[in-house]
Structure 1
């Protein structure tokens, strides 16, 4: 899957994608949307203020992917608090922070995933089966956020905690059931890296 982002004159980025690549990204973005779930005011769309003032959850998600996408703000996974009082204080701060920020974070991730899906749905392939996606700088940033979330989600399922962990994945045999997910993870990483480079001055 050789598609890489290239800068556009005047800003933004473009990438040529084939049908398979478009299908993979769209499918992953749809799955991400389903995982993140609807907004808190989904049942009361007639009240525009309901979501604005709705409080979010105070406990971290149980799903490991959502935990990766919405980590605690006041805890260091590499460091255990020195005493029970400090641990309880960290949990309280994290719960308070999560209550007032997670809804907005989820909304932003939903918007990014939807932007990806809508952009892919608008593409038309040429006779060779390739479609050229062109993004404005603002759209590029939305795509960058979505690509990062997709890689975090896949990395969580693969139990990748460090980028160095990916070295072994390059040597996976074809019959390994993780191989398709690994290939998608590595490919999305290449897309993400080249998209970042187009946003650099």
Structure 2
């Protein structure tokens, strides 16, 4: 391995938490991909098609949002068919990219923690996977602009908010390390 490398280290507990979260998001995405209906035209042409309906799971809906959001009252405000078509065409490759990014994290992150050495391309994959984990976790924690920095100690979401902040810090640190 030659060229620029980014170095870091994680202890065993951090590595376990991150591997678990990335694995969970990968599992959601994999289930979504495998739920796509069989398409005879896709089988004949070799072009893959995906689900045309948006995901029911709010975490997946955040990871795979609608493609087109019309302004209320605009002529195309009720164009659900446009979103269906775009979703069917593009969702498989979007899921593939997200799963590939997660795979890079799982491949480059030592199972028991330790030194991490990644290329800039692998760092991009880490950023993608961290974003996906933060989006999914943010849905579960109901993160929005009004979310406090900390939940009350008796709030069952409190420890998970700490993890969310840790992921945010990790993502920010990686971005700073990649900056010229």
Q: TM-score, normalised by structure 1?
A: 0.76
Unmatched 5+ stretches in structure 2: 37-42
Q: Residues 16 and 133 of structure 1 are in contact (CA less than 8 Å); yes or no, is this contact kept in structure 2?
A: yes
Q: Residues 56 and 103 of structure 1 are in contact (CA less than 8 Å); yes or no, is this contact kept in structure 2?
A: yes
Shift of 1:143: 0.5
Shift of 1:117: 1.3
Shift of 1:149: 0.3
Question: Which residue matches 1:87?
Answer: 77
Q: Residues 16 and 112 of structure 2 are in contact (CA less than 8 Å); yes or no, is this contact kept in structure 1?
A: no
Alignment partner of 1:149 is 2:138: no
Residue-pair matches, total: 172
Question: Matches of residues 35-46 of structure 1 in structure 2 within 5 Å?
Answer: 35-37=28-30, 39-40=33-34
Cα distance in 2 for partners of 1:50, 1:198 equals: 46
Root-mean-square deviation over aligned CA pairs: 2.5
Question: Which residue matches 2:106?
Answer: 117
Question: Which residue matches 1:6?
Answer: none
Q: Residues 40 and 103 of structure 1 are in contact (CA less than 8 Å); yes or no, is this contact kept in structure 2?
A: no
Question: Matches of residues 35-184 of structure 1 in structure 2 within 5 Å?
Answer: 35-37=28-30, 39-40=33-34, 53-75=47-69, 79=71, 81-82=72-73, 86-89=76-79, 91-121=80-110, 131-162=114-145, 165-166=146-147, 168-170=148-150, 172-184=151-163
Name the SS for the 1:111 alignment partner.
helix
Question: Which residue matches 1:5?
Answer: none
Cα distance in 2 for partners of 1:145, 1:52 equals: 27
Unmatched 5+ stretches in structure 1: 1-8, 43-48, 126-130
Q: Residues 12 and 198 of structure 1 are in contact (CA less than 8 Å); yes or no, is this contact kept in structure 2?
A: no
Q: 1:52 to 1:24 in 2, by over 3 A?
A: farther
Q: TM-score, normalised by structure 2?
A: 0.84
Shift of 1:57: 1.1
Cα distance in 2 for partners of 1:22, 1:40 equals: 28
